[in-house]
Structures are given as structure tokens and as C-alpha cells.
Structure 1
């Protein structure tokens, strides 16, 4: 452990296995914080084998902590999914301003509605077996205001079938997701503060006719379409 002696102007850090280099001025920019107490010698700190100051915290999220220490603000990326974890880190470091900044960003998110729909079936066993093997989704559709959809789904949003790129203020029903995991889509919506407002479904096709060549008859009986409406107030 450090004996609380003088710290260098440029400080090498090991935060949970992730290396950072910053200034002592940044680390001591928030007088009421744990980092201020550590890097003014009031609290002990360990060093690793490379003589870097070691803190056993989340190394990846520390980049946002460091951003806040540098200029007193933090800008989180679109579709950032770890606000609660970052808030916990901020609380551990006793960075009350960062805690408030995270809470304020959450409060200031615009309200809106996003509809998620999918057409799917169930995959069955071979040779007439009726055991359901797994849920089969063809595509997850996304409808709503363009900039809102982008802020929630980020790089997982496929806009290739939408002809009017770049107009973020409009609404569209032509987006779909690059993956077919319905629960992943729901998780992303919930993490952005959306709640399920309602849902509807077509039910299964039952005695559907005009089956395309090569389509499994039993599987076709279970074709269905569902929609889910998510609301952020």
C-alpha cells in the first residue's frame, strides 16, 4: 500500500485490470470524493506489480468516471446499457455530481412510442413428430420516430429498407433489427425507460391453405404475428 506520500503529476492507474493514465489534477478535482481522499494521501491505496495505483473497481466504466473528473460533465453513448452500473460506480467513488448527472440524463429523455412486431412460427421435429423444438422468428420489425428508434436500438437497427435516410424527425414503419432475439429487443427498450403499453396477436393459422412448396405443413399451422407497443412517458 501507498504510504500516503507525494503523488506524481501524471498518474498511472490500474482499475480492475484496465490501465489509465491521467493527471493528479483530474483525480483530485472533486474534493468530496473518495478519489480526492486517496490521491491526497488521506486514504490508503495499493500498487500493482508495475507500480501503478490499483483500485478494485469496474475498469471499463471508469472511462466515464474519468470524463466527469476532467470537466465535470459526462456524455454517454447512444444505446448505453449500463446506467445503473455506472451510477453504482459513481456512488462508490462518492461522486455526487456524477450521480446527479446520470439521473438528470435519465429524466430528460424524450417521451415516445415504439412498436415492435414479429412474424414467426415454431420449428417441429422431423418425420411427423409433434414436439416443438424452438421458436422461429423471421424478422423483428420496428416502427416509430426515426431518432427515437436509433437512440434505443443503435447499431442493431437495420435501415436498409427505409428510403429516406437522414430525416430523424419523421416516423417510419420500415425498420427491422439485425438479430432475431425478441428478448434482446425488449431488454434494450426497458433499459431506455420504456414500458409495455399493450400487445396484440393474430393467433396461429390453424387450417391455413395455399402452402408454398417446401414449407412444412405442421409448422405452417403455427404461423402467427404479434405486436407490442412500448411507451416512455
Structure 2
């Protein structure tokens, strides 16, 4: 190791790096450590005296990041994960390879959001003859496999046909019935619990001219939207 200085200059596939010897020998079983602790035959040098590694120079920055911090943070738009796994494998960094592999998730865990738009139907005497809550449609959002497991045949998928991706998410399902209590019971039976909810206000102001023909003005005044987030962990 005495032939190497504490600061090492590298040429990786035409991209130049400057790092410490301590960083390069951080992982004792790695190829980099073997090069720079004298175990393996030393690397050749380029015309400027930099140690030359004939690998992907751009991706090498992530190799150094991992050696420095023992962790890896990739940009959100990063699209070369498989190539980086190949580089990590070449350098003999199994911990980095494991960190780069997609995280396994429990298919039974997740969230389902149930929402509905409703109103109160009124009779001739308005408040004295309320017909209670009126729900037109119950919307379901979440991972497709979870939604199917919970709601089964009551789930209407006509507006969101299966695209072949088993773990995709959708916000276009709705139920074939309008009983919000039945939907809640089905979620509870499958081990979900209510994690959060929100609701719009009622008795909002509106212009009578905005109403469609045949729509009751008093009923429209009490339109509201509710949303419930259920979780299973």
C-alpha cells in the first residue's frame, strides 16, 4: 500500500475522479480494495499519470458515493439501475447490489381510498320530509390487486380495463352499489382500518341558472363530497 498516496487520481472510462485511498479500500473484499492495497496487480496509468479503469465513468460516481457513505441515494429520474447493478457486481460490492435491487413489498399491505359525492333528497315540505342521504356513485382508488381482493364482484372496472400490470394503481374504479356502509364492512372484513378522512362543506352557494332541468334546487344546495383512506399493514 506504500506505493499509493493518500489522495488518488482516477481515469474511469475517460471521466476523471479524485478520491482518498481510504475510500477506495473501504470494502475489503472489493476489487477496488484489492487494486489499491497491493493484493492485485496494480492498474495501468494514463498519459497524465492517473490510474485507468476501463469501465463506465459516469456511473462510477455512485460507486464512490456508496464507498464514502455506505448508502446510496439515486436521482428520482435515474433510469440506469440495471447498469449500475452490473457495475457494482463487477467491483465486488454485494451490499450495493442489494441496496439497488427493487424493494420487496407485501402484496397484502397498502391503502384504499373510498370516496363518494352525495346530497340530501327533500320532499314537498323541504326539511319536514327529508329522504336522507342520496349517493350516486362510490369511487375506489388504490392498487388494483388490493381493490379486487376487497370488493370482488361488486367492483366495476368498466372505466379502467386491465392493462396487464398486476401491481398498477388506479383512480377509476367504482362500486356497483351505492351503500357506503357495505363498502366499509367489506374493508373491515379484509383487515383494513380507517386511517384518515376528509369532507367538503354543505349548504354552499350557487346560482339557480347553473342547475340542469329537473334538478331540485334545495337538494343541490346540500351536495357534498367525502373521502376515506383505509390502510392494512
Tell me the TM-score normalized by structure 2.
0.51
> Shift of the alpha carbon at 1:129?
5.0
1:28-82: CA deviations, max 9, x gaps?
A: xxxxxxxxxxxxxxxxxxxxxxxxxxxxxxxxxxxxxxxxxxxxxxxxxxxxxxx
CA-based RMSD: 1.7
Match in the other structure for 2:194: 196
Give runs of aligned pairs for residues 155-174 of structure 1, distance below 5 A: 155-174=153-172
Tell me, in whole angstroms, the C-alpha distance in 2 between the residues paired with 1:202 and 1:129.
Answer: 21
1:138 to 2:136 alignment: yes
2:95 is aligned to: none
4+ residue stretches of structure 1 with deviation over 6 A? Answer: none
The worse-fitting range, judged by mean Cα deviation, of 108-117 and 181-190 is: 108-117
Q: How does the TM-score come out when normalised to structure 1?
A: 0.51
The superposition leaves residues 157-199 of structure 1 with CA deviations (integer Å, 9 ceiling, x where unpaired) of: 0000004444321000000000000000000000000000010
Structure 1 match to 2:228 = 228
CA distance in 2, matches of 1:227, 1:117: 4
Q: What residue number does 2:110 align with?
A: 112
Residue 126 of structure 1 deviates from its aligned partner by 2.0
- In 2 relative to 1, CA 206–187 (structure 1 residues): closer, same or farther, beyond 3 Å? same
Count of matched residue pairs: 126
SS at match of 2:111: strand
Match of 2:217 in 1: 217
Structure 1 gaps, min length 5: 1-107
CA distance in 1, matches of 2:131, 2:217: 15
Q: Gapped runs of 5+ residues in structure 2? A: 1-105
Structure number with bigger Rg = 2
Distance change in 2, residues 1:201/1:119 (3 Å): same
